[in-house]
């Protein structure tokens, strides 16, 4: 693939925009017309994993078994750098599933170590401390992805400068359905009633990673009803964490604590100062008096999400996870041709008494005891379902793992919506009407962060899953006992 090269002298023209666990994103603030309106997505490297040099590697990034899982997508299977791998995965796997109108694959660009070193130094103080402690820009990365900045609209031909402000809302929805598969241990039956997001909140809170438990529910967002979506949006604004970010003209206005936004919120119910900043910032965007703009913004976002098929598409891809990690993990060991650790440890445990606490489920504080005969029925079903998984053909197993990994991407990606009031000119952009003010807005909607998840993560996923569920079940049990 012919690749554009980023000039080292451009390093100073890239400014920090944001980051996740795996990538840092920079926005272009220079004057090169080919780069105006673009962001650059750079790979990070864990602080203790700096030795890996990918520059001279010509071998595929994926290990043999991964190459065979993705064999029908040759550009994915054969990619020799992480950036080419991720680009091919978005283009060939995720785009056809999610829709080309919602996926921007970006373009890989070559970057030098000097460029990366200069950029890394320039952005250091803008990065959240906790992110700095975990990972740095990967100075050995030969490529980065150049993508349109979806917090802004490109300036239209013939229009000399921006006339209206743009608001962009980024949502990380997480998993929007409850698993129903019989491959789950009956001790974890609570997973059929409480979302993984909600349970994970309790674990993160106990570990000190959160200041409060989120009131957001992915099940509301994916409910398919405008009431559910509105409720989810309201909750996201109340407890944004890393699930909501709002940008005005490309600058982060609102987010969870520690992300460097003007208005940072963890629990804003009583925070008049934060509300004031938001209301003020919406002047010129929502033509209503102070005090009425914020709610209207939430209604506008709801309308946009409700009318589009983006959430439904995403949910369908998330649901490719048919067997839950509790099923997929068995297949993981099979395709690696090693003994199934899970079956091995459950056979070692068999004969022990069923843990009374673990065989209860708690829904909104209400205790539902799974009686022992029901528990035994469920256990038998699980044993049968797991045996069936182990007996599938290699091709069937590869498909299950592939679908599981695709679903994992869909459970961790973000949606970004950008809106700009329609001014006098017209063009081919899509338009939505605000349900409250009837003001018209241009809009665009994209998925962000559609990275491939690696096969080696499965044991970690399983371990985390068990930790999340058992902590939740036990914490609910002790709450019930003490009340
Ligand atoms: O496991 P989860 O649900 O906590 O998701 C991880 C995210 O955590 P969060 O959404 O905050 O709970 C996590 O996000 P944060 O670092 O917490 O912002 C990453 O997105 C991680 O993906 P990767 O390591 O970049 O491939 C995510 O890991 P994957 O599970 O998607 O591989
Ligand atoms: N095309 C884009 N336009 C505007 N902003 C972007 C774009 N891509 C990414 N960003 C911003 O940069 C942030 C980090 O990007 P991204 O989600 O790709 O990182 P990540 O490390 O892959 O995330 P995760 O932690 O979920 O793995 C995003 O949350 C978003 O705010
Ligand atoms: Zn097994």
Query: What is the interface pTM, i.e. ipTM, of the complex?
Result: 0.98
**Whose CA is closest to 104, among 166, 151, 167?**
151
Note whether 131 and 27 are within 8 A (CB).
Answer: no
Q: How far, in Å, from the CA of 160 to the mean position of ligand 2? A: 29
**Whose CA is closest to 16, among 7, 6, 5, 28?**
28
Q: Which ligand is nearest to the CA of 328?
A: 3
Number of other residues whose CB lies within 10 A of the CB of residue 344: 11
What average pLDDT score do residues 215-240 get? 97
4-149 to CATH, choices 3.40.640.10, 3.30.479.30, 3.30.200.110, 1.20.1530.20: 3.30.200.110
Between strands 107-110 and 135-137, the pairing is unpaired
| 480 has pLDDT over 70 | no
Q: What is the per-residue pLDDT for 423? A: 76
Rounded Cα distance between 74 and 80, Å, is 12
- Max Cα–Cα distance, the chain, nearest Å: 77
Rounded Cα distance between 84 and 118, Å, is 23
| 479 has pLDDT over 50 | yes
* CB-side neighbour CA atoms (13 Å) of 423: 12
| 362 has pLDDT over 90 | no
| 361 has pLDDT over 90 | no
Enumerate the β-bridge partners of residue 247.
168, 252
Query: Percent of the chain, pLDDT > 70?
Result: 87
Q: What is the per-residue pLDDT for 347? A: 75
Q: What is the per-residue pLDDT for 356? A: 42
**Whose CA is closest to 243, among 224, 217, 268?**
217
Domain coordinates of the chain in residue numbers?
Answer: 4-149, 159-483
CA geometry: angle 369, 373, 376, nearest 5 deg: 100
Rounded Cα distance between 392 and 323, Å, is 13
| 220 has pLDDT over 80 | yes
What average pLDDT score do residues 217-231 get? 98
Q: Take atom 10 of ligand 2 and give the residue whose Cα is closest.
A: 25
| 357 has pLDDT over 60 | no
* H/E stretch holding 469: helix 458-482
Q: Provide the mean pLDDT of the chain.
A: 89
Q: How confident is the model at residue 369 (pLDDT cuts 50, 70, 90)?
A: low
What token pair was written down for 124?
């250091």
Rounded Cα distance between 415 and 210, Å, is 22
Note whether 287 and 437 are within 8 A (CB).
Answer: yes
Question: Is the C-beta atom of 468 inside 6 A of ligand 1?
Answer: no
CA geometry: angle 471, 476, 477, nearest 5 deg: 100
DSSP letter string, 47-59: TT-TT---TT--S
**Whose CA is closest to 24, among 128, 162, 169?**
128
Q: What is the per-residue pLDDT for 429? A: 74
- Three-state DSSP state, 201: helix
Q: How confident is the model at residue 367 (pLDDT cuts 50, 70, 90)?
A: low
* Residues in CB range of 474: below 8 A, 6 or more apart: 357
Rounded Cα distance between 29 and 213, Å, is 37
What token pair was written down for 47?
């602080």
Q: How far, in Å, from the CA of 359 to the mean position of ligand 3? A: 21
Note whether 69 and 107 are within 8 A (CB).
Answer: no
Q: How confident is the model at residue 355 (pLDDT cuts 50, 70, 90)?
A: very low
Q: How far, in Å, from the CA of 7 to the mean position of ligand 2? A: 23
Q: Which ligand is nearest to the CA of 244?
A: 2
Q: What is the per-residue pLDDT for 455? A: 98
Q: Take atom 23 of ligand 2 and give the residue whose Cα is closest.
A: 20
DSSP 8-state secondary structure symbol assigned to residue 323: S
What token pair was written down for 316?
């369908």
Q: Which ligand is nearest to the CA of 138?
A: 2
Q: To which residue do tokens 């674990």 refer?
A: 203
Question: Is the C-beta atom of 459 inside 6 A of ligand 1?
Answer: no
* Residues in CB range of 432: below 8 A, 6 or more apart: 300, 303, 304, 307, 419, 440, 441, 443
Rounded Cα distance between 299 and 293, Å, is 10
Note whether 466 and 196 are within 8 A (CB).
Answer: no
**Whose CA is closest to 243, among 364, 404, 103, 416?**
416
Q: How far, in Å, from the CA of 465 to the mean position of ligand 1? A: 13
Question: Is the C-beta atom of 20 inside 6 A of ligand 1?
Answer: yes
Core vs surface per residue 397-415: b (16+ CB within 10 A) or e: bbebbbbbbbbbbbbbbbb
**Whose CA is closest to 230, among 173, 157, 306, 163?**
306
Q: How far, in Å, from the CA of 306 to the mean position of ligand 2? A: 23
Residue-wise pLDDT for 151-199, tens only, equals 998 766 555 555 678 999 999 999 999 999 999 999 999 999 999 999 9
Q: How confident is the model at residue 377 (pLDDT cuts 50, 70, 90)?
A: confident
Q: Phi/psi at 251 (nearest 5 deg)?
A: -100, 135
Residue-wise pLDDT for 409-459, tens only, equals 999 999 999 999 987 655 567 899 999 999 999 999 999 999 999 999 999
Note whether 168 and 151 are within 8 A (CB).
Answer: yes
Question: Is the C-beta atom of 324 inside 6 A of ligand 1?
Answer: no
Residue-wise pLDDT for 9-59, tens only, equals 999 999 999 999 999 999 999 999 999 999 999 999 987 655 444 444 579
């Amino acid at each position: 693939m012919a690749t554009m090269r980023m000039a080292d002298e451009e390093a100073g023209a890239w400014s920090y925009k944001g980051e996740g666990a795996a990538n840092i994103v920079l926005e272009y603030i220079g004057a090169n017309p080919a780069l105006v309106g673009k962001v650059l997505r750079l790979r990070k490297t864990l602080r203790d994993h700096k030795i890996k040099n990918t520059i001279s590697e010509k071998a595929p990034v994926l290990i043999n078994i991964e190459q065979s899982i993705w064999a029908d997508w040759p550009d994915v299977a054969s990619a020799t750098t992480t950036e080419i791998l991720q680009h091919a995965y978005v283009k060939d796997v995720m785009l056809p599933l999610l829709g080309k109108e919602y996926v921007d694959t970006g373009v890989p660009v070559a970057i030098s170590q000097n460029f990366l070193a200069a950029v890394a130094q320039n952005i250091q103080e803008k990065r959240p401390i906790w992110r700095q402690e975990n990972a740095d820009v990967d100075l050995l990365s030969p490529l980065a992805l150049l993508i349109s900045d979806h917090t802004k609209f490109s300036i239209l031909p013939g229009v000399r400068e921006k006339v209206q402000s743009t608001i962009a809302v980024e949502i990380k929805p997480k998993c929007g359905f409850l698993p129903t598969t019989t491959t789950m241990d009956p001790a974890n039956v609570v997973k059929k009633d409480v979302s993984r997001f909600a349970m994970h909140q309790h674990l993160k809170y106990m570990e000190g990673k959160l200041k409060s438990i989120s009131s957001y529910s992915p099940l509301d967002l994916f409910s398919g009803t405008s009431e559910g979506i509105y409720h989810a949006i309201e909750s996201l604004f109340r407890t944004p964490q890393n699930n909501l970010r709002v940008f005005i003209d490309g600058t982060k206005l609102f987010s969870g604590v520690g992300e460097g936004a003007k208005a940072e919120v963890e629990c804003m119910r009583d925070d008049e100062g934060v509300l004031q900043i938001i209301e003020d910032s919406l002047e010129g965007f929502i033509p209503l008096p102070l005090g009425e703009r914020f709610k209207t913004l939430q209604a506008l976002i709801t309308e946009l999400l409700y009318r589009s098929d983006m959430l439904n598409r995403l949910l369908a891809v998330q649901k490719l996870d048919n067997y839950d990690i509790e099923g997929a993990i068995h297949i993981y060991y099979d395709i690696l041709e090693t003994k199934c650790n899970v079956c091995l440890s459950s056979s070692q445990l068999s004969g022990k008494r069923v843990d009374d606490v673990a065989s209860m489920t708690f829904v909104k504080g209400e205790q539902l005891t799974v009686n022992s005969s029901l528990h035994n029925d469920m256990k038998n079903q699980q044993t049968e379902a797991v045996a069936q998984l182990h007996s599938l053909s290699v091709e069937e197993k590869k498909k299950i793992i592939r679908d599981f990994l695709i679903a994992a991407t869909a459970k961790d990606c973000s949606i970004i919506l950008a809106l700009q009031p329609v001014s006098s000119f017209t063009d081919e952009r899509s338009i939505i009407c605000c349900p409250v003010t009837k003001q018209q807005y241009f809009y665009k909607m994209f998925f962000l962060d559609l990275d491939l998840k690696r096969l080696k993560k499965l044991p970690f996923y399983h371990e985390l899953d068990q930790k999340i569920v058992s902590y939740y079940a036990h914490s609910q049990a002790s709450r019930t006992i003490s009340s």
